[in-house]
Amino acid sequence: MKRAQVTVPLDIPDVRVLQTEINKVGELIITIESTKEGTICRQCGREIHKRHGYDEWTTIRHLPVFGRPSYLRYRPRRYQCLECEGHPTTTQRVEWRESNSPHSMAYDDHLLLQLVNSTIEDVSTKEVVAYDCVLGALERRISASVDWWQYTSLGVIGLDEIALKKGHRNFVVIVTARLADDQVAILGVLPDRQKDTVIEFLRSIPERLKRTIHTVCCDMYEGFSEAVREELKHVRIVIDRFHVARAYRGGLDDLRKQELGRLKKELPAAEYKLLKGSLWALRKKPASLSPEERRLLRLLFRYSPQLKQAYELQQQLTTIFDQHLSLAAAKTKIRAWIKRIAQSGLRCFDSFLNTLGRWWYEILNYFVNRENSGFVEGLNNKLKVLKRRCYGLFNLKHLFQRIFLDLEGYRLFAG
Ligand SMILES: [Zn+2]
Protein backbone atom coordinates (compact mmCIF):
# COMPACT_ATOMS: atom_id res chain seq x y z
CA MET A 1 0.00 0.00 0.00
CA LYS A 2 1.39 3.38 -0.95
CA ARG A 3 1.67 5.71 2.02
CA ALA A 4 0.44 9.28 1.75
CA GLN A 5 3.25 11.72 0.95
CA VAL A 6 3.72 15.46 1.42
CA THR A 7 6.26 17.81 -0.04
CA VAL A 8 7.84 20.32 2.32
CA PRO A 9 10.22 23.10 1.26
CA LEU A 10 13.71 22.73 2.72
CA ASP A 11 14.08 26.48 3.34
CA ILE A 12 17.86 26.53 3.03
CA PRO A 13 19.23 29.10 0.59
CA ASP A 14 21.46 28.16 -2.34
CA VAL A 15 21.13 24.39 -2.25
CA ARG A 16 19.67 21.73 -4.53
CA VAL A 17 18.15 18.52 -3.16
CA LEU A 18 19.61 15.47 -4.88
CA GLN A 19 17.89 12.74 -2.95
CA THR A 20 15.79 12.07 0.14
CA GLU A 21 15.51 8.74 1.87
CA ILE A 22 14.42 7.31 5.18
CA ASN A 23 17.03 4.97 6.65
CA LYS A 24 16.44 1.77 8.60
CA VAL A 25 15.96 3.55 11.92
CA GLY A 26 13.44 5.97 10.44
CA GLU A 27 15.68 9.03 10.12
CA LEU A 28 15.35 11.31 7.14
CA ILE A 29 18.55 11.67 5.12
CA ILE A 30 18.53 14.59 2.69
CA THR A 31 21.36 14.63 0.18
CA ILE A 32 22.02 18.14 -1.10
CA GLU A 33 24.57 20.14 -3.01
CA SER A 34 25.46 23.78 -2.71
CA THR A 35 24.56 25.91 -5.72
CA LYS A 36 26.54 28.84 -4.41
CA GLU A 37 29.63 29.69 -6.44
CA GLY A 38 32.97 30.67 -4.96
CA THR A 39 34.23 31.28 -1.43
CA ILE A 40 36.73 33.46 0.46
CA CYS A 41 40.38 32.41 0.40
CA ARG A 42 41.37 31.42 3.94
CA GLN A 43 44.79 32.98 3.41
CA CYS A 44 44.33 36.30 1.60
CA GLY A 45 40.61 36.89 2.09
CA ARG A 46 39.96 37.41 -1.62
CA GLU A 47 36.90 35.97 -3.27
CA ILE A 48 37.98 32.92 -5.28
CA HIS A 49 36.13 30.99 -7.97
CA LYS A 50 38.50 28.33 -9.27
CA ARG A 51 36.92 24.94 -8.43
CA HIS A 52 39.17 22.35 -6.86
CA GLY A 53 37.14 19.20 -6.26
CA TYR A 54 35.31 18.31 -3.05
CA ASP A 55 35.88 17.48 0.60
CA GLU A 56 34.71 14.13 1.95
CA TRP A 57 31.00 13.53 2.33
CA THR A 58 29.71 15.01 5.56
CA THR A 59 26.43 14.52 7.41
CA ILE A 60 25.05 17.12 9.82
CA ARG A 61 21.96 17.10 12.00
CA HIS A 62 19.06 19.25 10.82
CA LEU A 63 15.56 20.12 12.08
CA PRO A 64 13.20 17.24 12.91
CA VAL A 65 10.55 16.52 10.30
CA PHE A 66 7.25 15.06 11.51
CA GLY A 67 8.98 13.83 14.64
CA ARG A 68 11.82 12.18 12.74
CA PRO A 69 15.41 13.31 13.15
CA SER A 70 16.73 14.61 9.86
CA TYR A 71 20.24 14.95 8.46
CA LEU A 72 21.78 16.91 5.63
CA ARG A 73 24.37 15.00 3.66
CA TYR A 74 26.67 16.82 1.25
CA ARG A 75 30.18 17.17 -0.10
CA PRO A 76 31.57 20.63 0.58
CA ARG A 77 33.15 22.19 -2.47
CA ARG A 78 36.74 23.32 -2.51
CA TYR A 79 38.19 26.32 -4.28
CA GLN A 80 41.74 27.26 -5.14
CA CYS A 81 43.36 30.67 -4.83
CA LEU A 82 45.50 31.55 -7.81
CA GLU A 83 46.87 34.71 -6.17
CA CYS A 84 48.37 33.20 -3.02
CA GLU A 85 51.69 31.43 -3.10
CA GLY A 86 51.36 27.67 -3.39
CA HIS A 87 47.75 28.09 -4.64
CA PRO A 88 46.10 26.97 -1.35
CA THR A 89 42.61 25.51 -1.39
CA THR A 90 39.71 26.53 0.81
CA THR A 91 36.53 24.63 1.67
CA GLN A 92 33.43 26.59 0.70
CA ARG A 93 31.73 28.28 3.63
CA VAL A 94 27.95 28.10 3.58
CA GLU A 95 25.49 30.35 5.40
CA TRP A 96 23.56 27.50 6.94
CA ARG A 97 26.38 25.77 8.79
CA GLU A 98 29.18 27.05 11.00
CA SER A 99 32.56 25.52 10.23
CA ASN A 100 33.04 22.11 11.86
CA SER A 101 29.63 22.18 13.53
CA PRO A 102 27.85 18.81 13.60
CA HIS A 103 24.56 20.69 13.13
CA SER A 104 22.96 23.04 10.67
CA MET A 105 22.50 26.51 12.16
CA ALA A 106 18.75 25.94 12.14
CA TYR A 107 19.24 22.87 14.33
CA ASP A 108 21.50 24.77 16.73
CA ASP A 109 18.77 27.37 17.09
CA HIS A 110 16.18 24.66 17.60
CA LEU A 111 18.27 23.18 20.44
CA LEU A 112 18.70 26.59 22.05
CA LEU A 113 14.98 27.23 22.01
CA GLN A 114 14.49 23.90 23.81
CA LEU A 115 17.17 24.95 26.30
CA VAL A 116 15.37 28.13 27.42
CA ASN A 117 14.39 27.54 31.10
CA SER A 118 15.50 23.93 30.78
CA THR A 119 18.69 21.92 31.26
CA ILE A 120 21.32 20.57 28.93
CA GLU A 121 20.59 17.03 30.19
CA ASP A 122 16.91 17.43 29.52
CA VAL A 123 17.36 18.73 25.99
CA SER A 124 19.97 16.09 25.28
CA THR A 125 17.52 13.37 26.37
CA LYS A 126 14.56 14.71 24.45
CA GLU A 127 16.47 15.34 21.24
CA VAL A 128 18.55 12.15 21.51
CA VAL A 129 21.73 14.13 21.03
CA ALA A 130 24.92 14.10 23.11
CA TYR A 131 25.33 16.49 26.06
CA ASP A 132 28.34 18.08 24.37
CA CYS A 133 26.33 18.68 21.21
CA VAL A 134 23.81 20.80 23.13
CA LEU A 135 26.64 22.61 24.88
CA GLY A 136 28.29 23.09 21.48
CA ALA A 137 25.18 24.84 20.17
CA LEU A 138 25.26 27.17 23.18
CA GLU A 139 28.93 27.98 22.63
CA ARG A 140 28.55 28.55 18.90
CA ARG A 141 25.38 30.61 18.91
CA ILE A 142 25.46 32.60 22.17
CA SER A 143 28.22 35.08 22.74
CA ALA A 144 30.19 34.56 25.96
CA SER A 145 30.11 38.24 26.82
CA VAL A 146 27.82 41.18 26.27
CA ASP A 147 27.44 42.69 22.84
CA TRP A 148 27.33 46.40 23.66
CA TRP A 149 26.05 47.27 20.21
CA GLN A 150 22.74 45.72 21.17
CA TYR A 151 22.03 48.64 23.49
CA THR A 152 21.42 52.29 22.94
CA SER A 153 20.75 53.16 26.58
CA LEU A 154 21.26 51.36 29.91
CA GLY A 155 19.43 53.41 32.58
CA VAL A 156 19.60 51.38 35.79
CA ILE A 157 22.45 48.95 36.42
CA GLY A 158 22.29 46.24 39.09
CA LEU A 159 25.26 44.66 40.83
CA ASP A 160 24.11 41.54 42.63
CA GLU A 161 26.17 38.98 44.40
CA ILE A 162 24.93 35.41 44.34
CA ALA A 163 26.21 32.23 45.94
CA LEU A 164 26.60 29.53 43.35
CA LYS A 165 26.44 26.76 45.84
CA LYS A 166 24.93 26.77 49.30
CA GLY A 167 27.45 26.53 52.08
CA HIS A 168 30.39 27.15 49.78
CA ARG A 169 32.18 30.42 49.47
CA ASN A 170 31.60 30.44 45.79
CA PHE A 171 30.21 33.85 44.95
CA VAL A 172 29.86 35.62 41.65
CA VAL A 173 28.49 39.03 40.79
CA ILE A 174 25.77 39.34 38.18
CA VAL A 175 25.64 42.67 36.38
CA THR A 176 22.29 43.51 34.84
CA ALA A 177 20.64 46.48 33.21
CA ARG A 178 17.06 47.40 33.78
CA LEU A 179 16.15 48.84 30.42
CA ALA A 180 13.53 51.48 29.74
CA ASP A 181 10.76 48.97 28.96
CA ASP A 182 11.41 47.16 32.30
CA GLN A 183 13.29 44.41 30.50
CA VAL A 184 16.22 42.97 32.41
CA ALA A 185 19.36 42.34 30.38
CA ILE A 186 22.48 40.55 31.53
CA LEU A 187 25.68 42.52 31.01
CA GLY A 188 28.26 40.40 32.78
CA VAL A 189 29.22 37.79 35.34
CA LEU A 190 32.14 38.82 37.55
CA PRO A 191 34.28 36.32 39.50
CA ASP A 192 34.11 38.35 42.76
CA ARG A 193 32.96 41.62 44.32
CA GLN A 194 36.40 43.19 44.74
CA LYS A 195 36.59 46.86 43.84
CA ASP A 196 39.20 46.22 41.12
CA THR A 197 37.09 43.55 39.51
CA VAL A 198 34.08 45.86 39.40
CA ILE A 199 36.17 48.77 38.09
CA GLU A 200 37.59 46.64 35.32
CA PHE A 201 34.09 45.72 34.22
CA LEU A 202 32.75 49.28 34.41
CA ARG A 203 35.68 50.43 32.27
CA SER A 204 34.69 47.95 29.58
CA ILE A 205 31.37 49.76 29.08
CA PRO A 206 31.63 52.02 26.02
CA GLU A 207 31.58 55.75 26.83
CA ARG A 208 28.39 56.38 24.86
CA LEU A 209 26.57 53.86 27.11
CA LYS A 210 28.21 54.96 30.36
CA ARG A 211 26.57 58.34 29.85
CA THR A 212 23.13 56.71 29.76
CA ILE A 213 23.49 55.05 33.19
CA HIS A 214 21.76 57.17 35.84
CA THR A 215 21.45 54.70 38.73
CA VAL A 216 23.34 51.72 40.12
CA CYS A 217 21.48 49.43 42.50
CA CYS A 218 23.58 47.23 44.74
CA ASP A 219 24.16 45.81 48.17
CA MET A 220 26.15 47.53 50.91
CA TYR A 221 29.66 46.59 49.84
CA GLU A 222 32.45 49.12 49.63
CA GLY A 223 33.81 47.25 46.59
CA PHE A 224 30.63 48.11 44.70
CA SER A 225 30.11 51.67 45.88
CA GLU A 226 33.74 52.76 45.57
CA ALA A 227 34.10 51.29 42.10
CA VAL A 228 30.93 53.05 40.97
CA ARG A 229 32.02 56.36 42.49
CA GLU A 230 35.32 56.19 40.66
CA GLU A 231 34.13 55.03 37.28
CA LEU A 232 30.61 56.47 37.00
CA LYS A 233 30.87 59.79 38.77
CA HIS A 234 27.48 61.13 37.72
CA VAL A 235 25.53 58.09 38.87
CA ARG A 236 23.15 57.71 41.84
CA ILE A 237 23.88 54.69 44.03
CA VAL A 238 20.80 53.02 45.47
CA ILE A 239 20.88 50.23 48.02
CA ASP A 240 18.21 47.74 47.10
CA ARG A 241 15.51 47.87 49.76
CA PHE A 242 15.67 44.10 49.81
CA HIS A 243 19.17 44.30 51.29
CA VAL A 244 18.14 47.00 53.75
CA ALA A 245 15.25 44.84 54.93
CA ARG A 246 17.54 41.87 55.35
CA ALA A 247 19.77 43.96 57.58
CA TYR A 248 17.01 45.12 59.95
CA ARG A 249 15.32 41.72 59.97
CA GLY A 250 18.65 40.39 61.21
CA GLY A 251 18.31 42.59 64.31
CA LEU A 252 14.89 41.20 65.13
CA ASP A 253 16.17 37.69 64.55
CA ASP A 254 19.03 38.15 67.03
CA LEU A 255 16.58 39.28 69.67
CA ARG A 256 14.31 36.33 68.93
CA LYS A 257 17.16 33.88 69.47
CA GLN A 258 18.15 35.61 72.69
CA GLU A 259 14.61 35.67 74.02
CA LEU A 260 13.87 32.07 73.11
CA GLY A 261 17.04 31.06 74.91
CA ARG A 262 15.78 32.86 78.02
CA LEU A 263 12.26 31.39 77.71
CA LYS A 264 13.64 27.88 77.29
CA LYS A 265 15.13 28.17 80.76
CA GLU A 266 12.16 29.92 82.35
CA LEU A 267 9.17 28.10 80.85
CA PRO A 268 7.95 24.53 81.40
CA ALA A 269 9.02 22.38 78.44
CA ALA A 270 5.45 21.85 77.22
CA GLU A 271 4.77 25.57 77.16
CA TYR A 272 8.06 26.36 75.45
CA LYS A 273 7.22 23.82 72.73
CA LEU A 274 4.22 25.94 71.74
CA LEU A 275 6.61 28.64 70.53
CA LYS A 276 7.97 26.46 67.74
CA GLY A 277 7.78 28.05 64.29
CA SER A 278 8.27 31.60 65.54
CA LEU A 279 11.08 32.31 63.07
CA TRP A 280 8.82 32.05 60.03
CA ALA A 281 5.86 33.69 61.71
CA LEU A 282 8.05 36.72 62.50
CA ARG A 283 9.37 36.92 58.96
CA LYS A 284 6.03 36.73 57.22
CA LYS A 285 4.04 39.77 56.22
CA PRO A 286 1.34 40.28 58.90
CA ALA A 287 -1.37 40.08 56.23
CA SER A 288 -0.33 36.59 55.15
CA LEU A 289 -0.17 35.02 58.62
CA SER A 290 -2.34 31.98 59.23
CA PRO A 291 -4.63 31.96 62.33
CA GLU A 292 -2.22 29.50 64.06
CA GLU A 293 0.73 31.78 63.37
CA ARG A 294 -1.20 34.72 64.77
CA ARG A 295 -1.90 32.75 67.94
CA LEU A 296 1.76 31.78 68.11
CA LEU A 297 2.90 35.38 67.86
CA ARG A 298 0.38 36.52 70.48
CA LEU A 299 1.73 33.89 72.87
CA LEU A 300 5.33 34.76 72.10
CA PHE A 301 4.71 38.46 72.60
CA ARG A 302 3.00 37.82 75.95
CA TYR A 303 6.17 36.15 77.16
CA SER A 304 8.44 38.72 75.54
CA PRO A 305 7.12 42.27 75.37
CA GLN A 306 10.55 43.31 74.11
CA LEU A 307 10.18 41.12 71.06
CA LYS A 308 6.73 42.56 70.44
CA GLN A 309 8.14 46.04 70.53
CA ALA A 310 10.99 45.16 68.16
CA TYR A 311 8.57 43.42 65.81
CA GLU A 312 6.33 46.47 65.67
CA LEU A 313 9.26 48.78 65.02
CA GLN A 314 10.44 46.54 62.21
CA GLN A 315 6.99 46.61 60.64
CA GLN A 316 6.96 50.39 60.86
CA LEU A 317 10.14 50.63 58.86
CA THR A 318 8.81 48.26 56.20
CA THR A 319 5.71 50.43 55.98
CA ILE A 320 7.88 53.49 55.36
CA PHE A 321 9.56 51.70 52.45
CA ASP A 322 6.17 50.58 51.10
CA GLN A 323 4.81 54.11 50.95
CA HIS A 324 5.37 56.37 47.96
CA LEU A 325 7.13 59.07 49.92
CA SER A 326 9.25 61.93 48.69
CA LEU A 327 12.91 61.80 49.64
CA ALA A 328 12.38 64.56 52.21
CA ALA A 329 9.32 62.89 53.74
CA ALA A 330 11.11 59.53 53.92
CA LYS A 331 14.07 61.18 55.64
CA THR A 332 11.81 62.72 58.28
CA LYS A 333 9.98 59.45 58.90
CA ILE A 334 13.13 57.39 59.17
CA ARG A 335 14.70 59.92 61.56
CA ALA A 336 11.56 59.67 63.73
CA TRP A 337 11.84 55.90 63.58
CA ILE A 338 15.44 56.03 64.79
CA LYS A 339 14.30 58.20 67.68
CA ARG A 340 11.66 55.64 68.65
CA ILE A 341 14.34 52.93 68.67
CA ALA A 342 16.43 55.04 71.04
CA GLN A 343 13.44 55.64 73.32
CA SER A 344 12.56 51.95 73.37
CA GLY A 345 15.84 51.00 74.95
CA LEU A 346 16.14 48.08 72.54
CA ARG A 347 19.67 47.21 71.53
CA CYS A 348 18.89 44.62 68.85
CA PHE A 349 18.91 47.21 66.05
CA ASP A 350 22.27 48.69 67.05
CA SER A 351 24.13 47.04 64.24
CA PHE A 352 21.47 48.04 61.72
CA LEU A 353 21.52 51.67 62.94
CA ASN A 354 25.24 51.65 62.36
CA THR A 355 24.75 50.41 58.80
CA LEU A 356 21.98 52.93 58.27
CA GLY A 357 24.33 55.73 59.33
CA ARG A 358 27.11 54.60 57.05
CA TRP A 359 24.88 54.14 53.98
CA TRP A 360 22.38 56.87 54.78
CA TYR A 361 22.37 58.61 51.38
CA GLU A 362 22.46 55.42 49.34
CA ILE A 363 19.62 53.86 51.34
CA LEU A 364 17.54 57.05 51.17
CA ASN A 365 18.17 57.25 47.41
CA TYR A 366 15.63 54.49 47.05
CA PHE A 367 12.91 57.10 47.55
CA VAL A 368 14.04 59.13 44.56
CA ASN A 369 12.72 56.70 41.97
CA ARG A 370 11.98 53.52 43.95
CA GLU A 371 14.39 51.57 41.79
CA ASN A 372 15.86 48.18 42.30
CA SER A 373 18.12 46.09 40.14
CA GLY A 374 15.34 44.05 38.59
CA PHE A 375 17.58 41.14 39.25
CA VAL A 376 16.30 41.01 42.78
CA GLU A 377 12.74 41.00 41.55
CA GLY A 378 12.83 38.71 38.59
CA LEU A 379 16.14 37.15 37.89
CA ASN A 380 16.95 35.96 41.39
CA ASN A 381 14.23 33.33 41.33
CA LYS A 382 15.10 32.35 37.80
CA LEU A 383 18.68 31.90 38.83
CA LYS A 384 17.73 29.80 41.85
CA VAL A 385 15.96 27.48 39.47
CA LEU A 386 18.89 27.57 37.05
CA LYS A 387 21.28 26.63 39.85
CA ARG A 388 19.10 23.73 40.93
CA ARG A 389 18.87 22.51 37.39
CA CYS A 390 22.50 22.77 36.40
CA TYR A 391 25.51 21.74 38.33
CA GLY A 392 27.75 22.73 35.46
CA LEU A 393 27.38 26.45 36.09
CA PHE A 394 30.72 27.07 37.74
CA ASN A 395 32.04 28.10 34.39
CA LEU A 396 31.30 31.85 34.39
CA LYS A 397 31.13 31.96 30.61
CA HIS A 398 28.44 29.29 30.56
CA LEU A 399 26.60 31.04 33.38
CA PHE A 400 26.48 34.21 31.31
CA GLN A 401 25.32 32.30 28.25
CA ARG A 402 22.59 30.44 30.17
CA ILE A 403 21.20 33.58 31.83
CA PHE A 404 21.34 35.38 28.49
CA LEU A 405 19.49 32.50 26.85
CA ASP A 406 16.83 32.35 29.57
CA LEU A 407 16.26 36.10 29.24
CA GLU A 408 16.43 36.49 25.46
CA GLY A 409 15.96 32.99 24.05
CA TYR A 410 12.28 33.27 23.16
CA ARG A 411 12.82 36.57 21.39
CA LEU A 412 15.81 35.22 19.46
CA PHE A 413 14.78 31.69 18.59
CA ALA A 414 10.99 31.41 18.72
CA GLY A 415 9.82 32.41 15.30
ZN1 LIG B 1 44.44 33.72 -1.48
Q: Can you give the residue ranges of every domain in the chain?
A: 15-141, 148-240+372-413, 242-369
Give backbone dihedrals phi and psi of 154, rounded to 5 degrees, phi first.
Answer: -110, -35
Distance between CA atoms of residues 189 and 146, nearest Å: 10
Cα 353 to Cα 209, 242, 360, 396, distances in angstroms: 36, 16, 10, 36
Pick 148-240+372-413's CATH classification: 3.30.420, 3.40.1350, 3.40.50, 3.10.20. Answer: 3.30.420
Pair 346, 317: CB distance under 8 Å? no
At position 153, the amino acid (one-letter code) is S
Q: Which range, 57-61, 157-161, 268-272, 287-291, has the best average confidence (pLDDT)?
A: 57-61
pLDDT computed for residue 395 by the predictor: 78
Q: Separation of 323 CA from ligand 1 center, angstroms?
A: 69
* DSSP code of residue 66: T
Q: Separation of 40 CA from ligand 1 center, angstroms?
A: 8
Q: Separation of 35 CA from ligand 1 center, angstroms?
A: 22
- pLDDT tens per residue across span 22-74: 999 999 999 999 999 999 999 999 999 999 999 999 999 999 999 999 999 99
Q: Separation of 99 CA from ligand 1 center, angstroms?
A: 19
Question: What percent of the chain shows pLDDT beyond 90?
Answer: 76
Q: Separation of 34 CA from ligand 1 center, angstroms?
A: 21
| Three-class secondary structure of residue 54 per DSSP | strand
pLDDT computed for residue 372 by the predictor: 79
Of the candidate ranges 71-80, 138-147, 346-355, 368-377, the one whose mean pLDDT is the lowest: 368-377
Sign of CA dihedral 329, 326, 236, 182: positive
Q: How many helices (H) and strands (E) does the chain have?
A: 17, 14
Which residues fall within 8 angstroms of residue 329, CB to CB, at 6 or more apart? 367
Q: Separation of 313 CA from ligand 1 center, angstroms?
A: 77
Distance between CA atoms of residues 7 and 332, nearest Å: 74
Give backbone dihedrals phi and psi of 147, rounded to 5 degrees, phi first.
Answer: -100, 100
pTM, whole model, 2 decimals?
Answer: 0.82
- pLDDT tens per residue across span 82-110: 999 999 999 999 999 998 999 999 999 99
Which residues fall within 8 angstroms of residue 24, CB to CB, at 6 or more apart? none
